[in-house]
Amino acid sequence: MYFTGSLAVDPSQITAIKVLKPTKVFGKILHLMTGGATSEKEEQETFTAVAILQQFNMALRSMGINNLVRLTKDDFDFYFDEEGTEDDLKEIMDNFSLETDKIESEVFETLYLVVEHQDEHFKYLIEVDIKRRHKVGEYPIEVKVNGVMADMGGDGSSESTKEKMKKVFQSQELYNKYLLEKQNAFEGFVSTLGQGVKKFITSDDLIQKVKQNMIRPKEPVKKADSIPQHRDNRSVQPIYYGYYGFDDYFLYSWMWSSMAYSNGIYVNNFYMVDESGQDMMSVGDEGFDAGETDTLNPEADFEPPDTGDVEYFNDHDYQDEFQEANVGDAGGDYDSGGDDSGGWSDSFGDSSSGDSSSSCSSCSSCGGGCGGD
């Protein structure tokens, strides 16, 4: 089990909407005949690379977040930490400002910033993705937050990690209590981060989302260096990239489904994801007993749960298994879902007000604290 959150930011900047000239002959003719009215359009942000990064620099440092992992401009890594250097955010940001001239700062296409942070509850990876040009209506800044339980970090072996996990899986009551505590802590962190962003980046809108994720491995993962990495796929959550030092903390997440299965834990209000973090299915308030089926058992073929408030998704590693089990598209119980489907804790508009309204009841927000006792 690990947590993901996102902040979609619409900064209060002047944007220029430009008409994209079509490349095909018919489109060119139509473009000329209609004065471009029928052609696609895009928004171009007016902020510079240096200015927007300095704003994030101030927002992050105001929260005590000082460790930079990666800084990329237009797919070129200006900085990539492969040694676990600490307190390097300000230095690298200052160097970027000095080494990037005015023209380069104004004509950039994308910026990609990754930082790490740790508190008593979580070890975080925070990814900031900035696009100067984007579709009309899309927000140019997306912040992804990944949190793995800080108390589950170890030496990268399944034996020591399992010992730490046992205290959570001793009973349903302890399991529910643990996840409720972590859910509240993670939501609080993401909310504070959103407030920090709005303090230093004047925004028209900020959308906040949080969810719990349980990995369903194809087979048991017994050590940290066996965790699959996806360095060729920028669309995955940052935790799957394999950044320095994170796999030892991430290992427990690959063992969570197996522990839930072997201990007969009642699970609800989470997203099941494949080995690259793609959504496989969401489980709502009405969950299921993990020990009654092989849904969460990595030593067996996947089978859908017999009960539960479940929605199935496509485009993941278990597509064939879903078809064989007659769920998803084949079973007619498919929901295109994605980021806006059930199970999210949503907060819209002015997050700096501290209002974190939830789409779930107080019972469901615990991410596993309902029923099954």
- The pLDDT tens digits of the residues spanning 137-193 come to 677 889 999 999 999 987 878 888 999 999 999 999 999 999 999 999 999 999 999
Question: What's the pLDDT score for residue 66?
Answer: 94
Question: What is the arithmetic mean of pLDDT over 50-65?
Answer: 90
Cβ–Cβ under 8 Å, residues 239 and 125: yes
DSSP string, 196-260: HHHHHS-EEEEEEEEEEEEE--SS---BGGGS---TT-TTS-GGGS--TT-HHHHHHHHHHHHHH
Is 332 a residue whose pLDDT tops 70?
Answer: no
Burial of 353 (0-12, 13-18, 19+ CB in 10 A): exposed
Mapping DSSP to helix (H, G, I), strand (E, B) and coil, where does residue 272 land? Answer: strand
Question: What's the pLDDT score for residue 24?
Answer: 54
Mapping DSSP to helix (H, G, I), strand (E, B) and coil, where does residue 142 land? Answer: strand
Query: What is the average pLDDT value for the chain, to the nearest integer?
Result: 80
Q: Which amino acid is at 125?
A: L
Question: What's the pLDDT score for residue 17?
Answer: 37
Q: Tell me what percent of the residues of the chain surpass a pLDDT of 90.
A: 50
Q: How confident is the model at residue 43 (pLDDT cuts 50, 70, 90)?
A: low
Question: What's the pLDDT score for residue 100?
Answer: 84
34-43, 246-255, 354-363 — which is least confidently predicted? 354-363
